[in-house]
Amino acid sequence: MLWIKAFHIIFIASWFAGLFYLPRIFVNLAQESDTAATARLLLMARKLLRFTTMLAVPAVLLGVWLWLGYGFRGGWMHVKLALVLLVIGYHHACGSLLKKFERGANKRSHVWFRYFNEVPVLLLTAIVILVVVKPF
């Protein structure tokens, strides 16, 4: 099980690296007016979203494997799983926002995306504290 846990942590860290950077690209897209630069940023965002999704799948599957192996113990696990669902929802929201940028239908400002960019940091912080400290 330690190998499963190690690879789970590696895939989680990699997944979150993408979730940290993708909204930063959105900040730049929201500010950009040059069509060539916009096209380049959209290409980067599409590739990053695809790669991040490929990292999310094994992260979630390995997490389920750990959950089945160790069991569902403690109230902290309920909260952690709820936060993981929020992370998956955030990932999906990034895909939806990218589609809006591709259609030229984004209505949000770069300032909104700067706040949106902080959400995965808060989620990861809460999840790590729950897993390590197991407060309840």
Burial of 118 (0-12, 13-18, 19+ CB in 10 A): exposed
Phi, psi torsion values for 117, nearest 5 degrees: -65, -20
**8 annotated ligand binder:** yes
CB 80 within 8 A of CB 133: no
Instruction: Judge whether 5 is annotated as a binding position.
Output: no
Binding residues for heme, by number, are: 8, 80
Binding residues, by number, are: 8, 80
